[in-house]
Chain A
Amino acid sequence: MTDPVPPQALGTGDYPLSEKRPDLVRTATGKPLDSLTLDAIAAGAVGLADLAITPQALTMQAAIARAAGRETLARNFERAAELVGVPQDVILETYELLRPGRAKDKQTLLDAATRLRRDYGADRIAAFVEEAAAVYERRKLFTYRF
């Protein structure tokens, strides 16, 4: 990795990163974009993990979105950055819990939030789930649906 650039320093002029700032983009395994070639794939040197987005890329896109005046989009990218490292089954379980009537009570959601914060450092996501828990309680969403 080259010198890290603080993402907040990025602006719309750095976009698209793949064209304007390829120096800042690395795959999850630390490879530069131009190492993603058909030959490298055929040789097994590049795999599916190298074609995934990274928390760093999402943080940089959040900075660009913010610079373009899109604060809510930026926040979504920041929540997403926290979810990159969260395994698929945990993501799907959390999503399922957030659906109406899936969690039996408020505590179930609060416990899920705690796990996300503790195991994955997903502070924003955890706060978001806690916010939902409060609203679901007020709106009586912890009711039996099926």
Chain B
Amino acid sequence: MPTPNRWRRFAEWDERPLRLDRFAVEDAANGFAAVAGLRDPEPGLTLEGGAVAVMDGVSAAEFDMIDTFIATHHLDPEVAPEAMALPSQTVARMLVDVNVPRAELVRLARGMTPAKLADVVARLNAAEITFAYAKMRARATPGNQAHVTNAKDDPLQLAADAATAVAFGFDEIETTMRVSRNAWSNALACCVGAAVGRSGTLFQCSSEEAEELRIAMAGFTSYAETVSVYGTERTFVDGDDTPWSKAFLAAAYASRGIKMRCTSGAGSELLMGYHESKSLLYLEARCLCLQRAMGVQGTQNGGIDGAPLASTIPGGVRELMAENLLAVWLDLECASGNDARTSESEIRIGAKILPYLIAGSDLICSGFGSILKYDNSFNPSLFNGEEMEDYLVLQRDFEADGGLTPRDEPAVLAVRRRAVEVLAGVLEALGLGSADPARLDSVVFASGSDETDSYRPGEVAVLSDAIQRRSITVIDVLNAMTARGFREEADNLLSLLKLRVSGDYLQTAAVVRGGRVVSAVNDPNDYRGPGTGYRLSAQRRAEIHAIRDVLDRDAVLRAAARQSRREAGRIAYRTMGPAARGTDPREVVIGISPAFGTRLYETLAGHVLSDVLRNLIDGIAARGLAARVVRLRHTADTSFLGLAAARLSGSGIGIGIQAKGTAVIHGHDRLPHNNLELFSNAPITTLAHYRRLGENAAALALGEWPEPVVVPQRGEAMGARYHAQVALIYAIETGLVEDGASPEQVAVTFLEGATVP
């Protein structure tokens, strides 16, 4: 019951997933400001004797740790006077100017303070940020990162899901645990799974810092990204670190040959209670200058855990884009967020990803949930296993490289099977137990851990402890693979390990493709306008197009051939020569299209044409009138089929019908497109509707004005569901059309019933 005094639409809106999202009012004093904070400083820089004396309104004596680190290690005094003197509006225009090279802007950023950088990007609208991002990102070829976790920390499923993620093309995979002591088991399982089917995919196991380093040194992992930095000093300290401790950690990771990026994102200071009434963007500009200053190659940035909070604030999503732009402008690899799910609304989710998909990004998602939402131990991602095909189709729609490649069912099943077999073989060879084949089966076919009958949590803990206690390393894993005959996987894993020796994947935005390192050094983004920068190759374009289950003309013809044999047993159409104009006022002519029953046999709703015709005829007969069937060969258009039938009809009323089921009632004295009743929604037109159509045509012939037949529709996207099929089918109709061909009288015999002359 509608509530009085309330437009019912609001009640309906209340029920949409969107209304589960809560939105916050802009409140700069309390930190709820995307780009205009109450206490954001004016950009400014004073150098004295080559050292920073005042930065963004704060004198050196008053610098907090972050200011000090940025002033010491980020700002280049050679560039700063020139860069700071440029009006922000001018720099903003340079960011979107194809004639200003990326390298020039990167050079200027070295001389800009956080407030200056923030002031520049805040001037760009969302389209300009997207464009500038495409121009400024570091590596030319886009990539993507997957989360691979499950709710049970089941190693067999981790191996299968890692192999699956690798098969779909993810350049990095990241795992974490439900139970921290399972880190070693997770690391070994994903390391093995990621070696299936492809040479060397970067892998990380997100855990406590010291343990993460130990796991990396055992050779299981190759990158890390959990080194968080913050934009206010109090938040940094509460995060239990300082810029120096994090920078030390950055050097420590590099000293172990581990690729590393920092993590920062809007909203962390707000969530942790020390925002200093500064905007999301300004605080993030501080974080990013800090990261460049530390000498990390890249950042995981764009809200990250704070993205859902940023998305509650007006302009928050634009701010996330702006901070990602700052990251790439500062020449950092950007794993551009699109990680934590920012909304319950699928429309907001799809809109969130689009700018990144069309602009490209070093890693579009810094954690695309390749597994189901409930299996994601980080929390659900913006995109998850459930929605992966939506993403693949978005790539195809926009011909944009989102880093993924569609895979067919046999291919995915094969890598999953292989992954569990390799892992089971490795565990057995290492004396870590043998897995029941039933467990392997349950994992191979399972979409998520709810469906598996595999390792129990207690067993995983024992396994993980054993790997750690026995100091098992990747050397042991390689030997186990070799011993069990998994030579291909051992080669894949070794090829990645060898790259650690040369340190090639430590450079900015490095990923491993086909066993080779591709980074901003040997694949730099050289975008300078249309025709430059990253473009889909013919091969890559074909890969992105190849989603599953697409229609083609052959498929339509094959289906028609099958239906032809079935219809042959139900109906016979006999051509009786040219159709004459009728004189009997008690007849209704049914004008069938060229392919009706000759090439095509079924409507879009799936009704065979013999049933459709029988219902039309029965409907006419129910009012005591006779049907006469003629085949029209000069047109396949519904209106003209109907009008031509009406002109041949003794009553002046005719029905036109196409093979796909679209039908019309027409009068002989009407204009072509001014029909009496149109049945345009063939996919939802039932046999009962066709019978009533016949009845109404007869009623009109009798001079009545019957109630029009309503085919109720519930807002289905008919075009999306049927138009590809419609176009293919209709082309078969039009292919049979002959200009000037005269109508033919058709005798229809229902093989279990009566003949209609």
A interface residues, Cβ below 8 angstroms from B: 12, 15-19, 22, 25, 27, 33, 36-38, 41-42, 47-48, 50-54, 57-58, 60-61, 64-65, 68-77, 79-84, 86, 88, 91-92, 94-95, 98-100, 125, 128-129, 131-132, 135-136, 139, 141, 145
Contacts and interface: CB of A to CB of B under 8 A. Distances in A.
B691 to A, nearest CB: 73
Contacts of B508: 65, 68, 70, 73
Contact of A69 (B69, B106, B209, B248): B106
Interface in B641-700: none
Contact of B74 (A16, A41, A72, A145): A72
Contacts of A79: 251, 254, 295
B256 A18 contact: no
Contacts of A91: 213, 252, 255
Contacts of A19: 516-517
B605 interface: no
A15 B522 contact: yes
B521 A88 contact: no
Contact of A47 (B236, B251, B475): B475
Nearest to A133: B244
B474 interface: yes
Contacts of B242: 98-100, 132, 135-136, 141
A68 to B, nearest CB: 5
8 contacts: A16-B504, A25-B502, A33-B498, A51-B500, A57-B503, A70-B331, A95-B252, A125-B248
B64 A139 contact: yes
B331 A51 contact: no
Given A38-B490, A54-B501, A73-B508, A80 B245 contact: no
Contact of A72 (B64, B293, B479, B503): B293
A38 B255 contact: no
Contact of A12 (B210, B483, B522): B522
A55 to B, nearest CB: 8
B614 interface: no
Contacts of B247: 76, 128
A120 B381 CA distance: 44
A118 B142 CA distance: 45
A18 B507 contact: no
B517 A18 contact: yes
Contacts of B233: 139
A33 B501 CA distance: 8
Contacts of B564: none
B258 to A, nearest CB: 9
Most buried by A among B64, B218, B295, B520: B295
Nearest to A97: B245
Given A15-B504, A53-B255, A80-B254, A72 B295 contact: yes
A57 B501 CA distance: 7
Contact of B506 (A25, A77, A83, A141): A77
Top 4 closest pairs, chain A to chain B, by CB? A76-B295, A80-B254, A53-B257, A132-B244
Contacts of B244: 98, 128-129, 131-132, 135-136
Interface string B485-509: 0010011001001111111101110
A121 to B, nearest CB: 14
Secondary structure at chain A's binding surface: helix, strand, loop or mixed? helix
B180 interface: no
A95 B219 contact: no
Contact of B521 (A27, A68, A80, A129): A68
Given A42-B479, A65-B508, A132-B245, 8 more contacts: A25-B501, A41-B494, A53-B256, A53-B502, A68-B507, A68-B520, A76-B247, A77-B295
A61 B494 CA distance: 21
B163 interface: no
A57 B107 CA distance: 26
A36 B313 CA distance: 53
Nearest to B522: A15
Given A38-B487, A70-B331, A99 B245 contact: yes
Nearest to B72: A131
Contact of B503 (A17, A37, A95): A17
B296 interface: yes
B203 to A, nearest CB: 15
Interface string B451-493: 0000000000000000000000111001100110001001100
Contacts of A16: 499, 502, 504, 516-517, 519, 521-522
B317 interface: no
A18 B494 contact: no
Most buried by B among A50, A52, A81, A86: A52
A141 B503 contact: no
Contact of B494 (A27, A36, A86, A92): A36
A140 to B, nearest CB: 10
B303 to A, nearest CB: 24
A50 B249 CA distance: 23
Given A64-B507, A69-B107, A98 B473 contact: no
Contact of A88 (B69, B217, B475): B217
B103 interface: yes
B250 interface: yes
B507 A65 contact: yes
A33 B515 CA distance: 14
Given A18-B504, A42-B482, A99 B240 contact: yes
B547 interface: no
B184 to A, nearest CB: 15
A82 to B, nearest CB: 8
Given A64-B507, A99-B242, A18 B498 contact: yes
B503 A58 contact: yes
B522 A38 contact: no
B297 interface: yes
A95 B245 contact: yes
B501 A52 contact: yes
B502 A33 contact: yes
Most buried by B among A36, A69, A84, A135: A135
A81 B295 CA distance: 14
Given A12-B522, A135-B65, A139-B65, A53 B252 contact: no
B73 A72 contact: yes
Contacts of B487: 38
Interface in B229-286: 233, 236-237, 240-242, 244-245, 247-257
A51 B103 contact: no
B190 interface: no
A75 B72 CA distance: 13
Interface in B518-554: 519-522
Contacts of B213: 88, 91-92
B214 interface: yes
Given A48-B473, A72-B293, A80-B254, A38 B482 contact: yes
Most buried by A among B233, B251, B487: B251
A76 B251 contact: yes
A29 to B, nearest CB: 11
Contacts of A25: 501-502
A6 B357 CA distance: 42
A100 B517 contact: no
Nearest to B210: A92
Contacts of A131: 72, 244
B734 to A, nearest CB: 56
